[in-house]
Amino acid sequence: MTTADTAATARPGAAHLLAALAGDALGGPVPLRLRAWDGSETGPADAPVVVVRSRRALRRLLWQPGELGLAQAYVTGELDVDGDLAHGLRTMWAAQRERGLRPPRLTPADRARALATAVRLGAVGPRPAAPASQARLRGGLHSRARDRAAVSHHYDLSNDFYGLLLDDTMAYSCGYWAAERDGFGPADAQRAKLELICRKLALAPGSRLLDIGCGWGSLTLYAAERHGARVTAVTLAREQAAYVRERVRERGLTDRVTVLCRDYRDIEDDGGGGHGRDGGHEGGGYDAVATVEMGEHVGDAEYPAFAAALHRLVRPRGRVLVQQMSRGRVAPGGGPFIEAYIAPDMHMRPLGETVSLLEAAGIEVRHTESLREHYVRTVEAWHRTLEESWERFVRLVGEEVARVWRLYLVGGALAFEEGRMGVDQILGVRPGPGGAGGLPVATPAWYQGLDRP
């Protein structure tokens, strides 16, 4: 027992009152050590230490119990973890699984006790304002204007920020760790992923590729440079579109790549693969369509129309590749923190449901591949970069946004590690006359040589 614990037997400090309150809300003892603003501590001596820096954190949790309130307190610095944040989250989630701790569901009696504790600790007050980094969207769910605002909230943070976080491919999606050898790093994993996608899509010189949700152009540029494809790249984020156009000019690819800042619902189909109003080659004549980690942002009710658009835009016997995150049936969305700070309005579902939606749109699904463990490595690499260049990130976006990203990356890596989230590549074809699919009977040698940068 520590000195602080001994002193508490005579006069409980804030940490002891908070631990009792949290235990009531969770249905069992908190598996973490708590340290409060008054210097009091309680909890297992060898557990990760959660530091409640101010009464404001308690007030925030009274108004917003659960994950979102905790996230708000963390990103503002009102609450912190002393040491390894991943260790703290892993300990809490393990206790929830193994000891049956439940998310807070406060009854009127629980709320009365919490209020009495807050009064005793001097934490009662008006509801704290949401942190500035939290998304504030208006309009109908998945309207064009709201979707554009949701994309801008995350992806228009700044090209400088993402340039510092990502490797030189600027790929902001799961890499493919094709080798275990020393020297095979994040950029190699991203290039291996891009090559794998191009092989699955059977791209060849002159192939027409539609890249929906092109990000900073990693697939677009790779397919045009390495495979000679003619690419139409589509994004809703203006900063991304400007970045990709500049890279296209720098690399002399203006004759192969057209970049559109457009909603996927507004991609024109002229029926013959001709020129659209922006000079791009739009229509049902695309040889291949790819969408890499964009489908999560479409929305649940809108996904059938999205799948129908994939079918409409690819030619008969053309291929469609969807790389998309998944989640179990219990929690199909991204979770309160992700949806408030990272990807507002996102919707994830089990892999099988996505496959069914694609099939219902007329796409024949021919191959699926889980990349879940690959995403653990990918996100951990981004987190290492964030911590190694912490001060530079803070100068770029401020400490609150940097803390948002720390929580996002640490929590994301653990979610993939523990199987609460997944990511998959789904390869399909639009059947041709008589059901012809255009894929060889034998399994292609997609994976040969991916470990060579």
Residue 163 falls within a domain, yes or no? yes
Residues 105 and 58 in one domain: yes
Beta strand pairing status for 33-35 and 41-42?
antiparallel
Q: Which of 74, 106, 121 is the last residue of a domain?
A: 121
Rounded distance, CA 331 to CA 348, Å? 8
Task: Indicate if the pLDDT at residue 33 is higher than 90.
Answer: yes
What is the structure's pLDDT at 89? 92
What would the two tokens of residue 333 be?
């969305």
Residue 139 falls within a domain, yes or no? no
Residue 11, CB-side half-sphere exposure with 13 Å CA sphere:
4
Q: Measuring CA to CA, which residue among 152, 165, 140, 260 is closest to residue 210?
A: 260
Residue 129 falls within a domain, yes or no? no
Please, what is the average pLDDT of the chain?
89
Residues 91 and 154 in one domain: no
Task: Indicate if the pLDDT at residue 101 is higher than 50.
Answer: yes
pLDDT in tens, 57-95: 999 998 998 889 999 999 999 999 998 999 999 998 887
Q: How confident is the model at residue 274 (pLDDT cuts 50, 70, 90)?
A: very low
Task: Indicate if the pLDDT at residue 283 is higher than 70.
Answer: no
Residues 111 and 12 in one domain: yes
C-beta of residue 326 within 8 angstroms of C-beta of residue 296: no
Name the burial class of residue 77, with classes exposed (0-12), middle (13-18) and buried (19+) by CB atoms within 10 angstroms of its CB: middle
Residues 194 and 333 in one domain: yes
Residues 204 and 112 in one domain: no
Residue 393 falls within a domain, yes or no? yes
Q: How confident is the model at residue 276 (pLDDT cuts 50, 70, 90)?
A: very low
3-class SS of residue 42? strand
Q: Spell 4-35 as b/e; 16+ CB within 10 A means b.
A: bbeebeeebbbbbbbbbbbebbbeeebbbbbb
Residues 268 and 377 in one domain: yes
Which structural domain range is residue 357 located in? 144-435
Start-to-end CA span in the chain (Å) = 55
Residues 117 and 148 in one domain: no
Q: Measuring CA to CA, which residue among 23, 44, 26, 27 is closest to residue 35?
A: 44
Residues in the chain: 453
Mean pLDDT of 112-134: 91
What is the domain-level CATH number for residue 325?
3.40.50.150
Q: How confident is the model at residue 328 (pLDDT cuts 50, 70, 90)?
A: confident
Residue 449 falls within a domain, yes or no? no
Residues 250 and 347 in one domain: yes
Q: Provide the percentage of residues in the chain whose pLDDT is more than 70.
A: 91
Rounded distance, CA 146 to CA 150, Å? 6
Residue 138 falls within a domain, yes or no? no
Residues 199 and 332 in one domain: yes
Q: How confident is the model at residue 105 (pLDDT cuts 50, 70, 90)?
A: low
Q: How confident is the model at residue 156 (pLDDT cuts 50, 70, 90)?
A: confident
Task: Indicate if the pLDDT at residue 322 is higher than 80.
Answer: yes
Give the torsion sign (CA, 219, 224, 227, 230): positive
Q: Which of 88, 121, 154 is the last residue of a domain?
A: 121
The more confident residue out of 282 and 143 is 143
Residue 270 falls within a domain, yes or no? yes
Q: Measuring CA to CA, which residue among 382, 375, 353 is closest to residue 420?
A: 375
Q: Measuring CA to CA, which residue among 428, 218, 172 is closest to residue 322?
A: 428
Count of structural domains within the chain: 2
- Residue 163, C-beta contacts closer than 8 angstroms, at least 6 positions apart: 170
Q: Looking at this protein, which amino acid is placed at residue 179? A: A
Task: Indicate if the pLDDT at residue 43 is higher than 70.
Answer: yes
Q: How confident is the model at residue 385 (pLDDT cuts 50, 70, 90)?
A: very high
Residue 113 falls within a domain, yes or no? yes
- Describe the strand order of the beta sheet including 421-429 as a list of residue ranges: 257-261, 230-235, 208-212, 286-292, 314-327, 421-429, 364-370
Residues 104 and 216 in one domain: no
What would the two tokens of residue 332 be?
């199909």
Residues 199 and 112 in one domain: no
- Residue 150, C-beta contacts closer than 8 angstroms, at least 6 positions apart: 135, 137, 297, 343, 344, 345
The pTM score is 0.89
Q: How confident is the model at residue 275 (pLDDT cuts 50, 70, 90)?
A: very low
Residues 171 and 100 in one domain: no
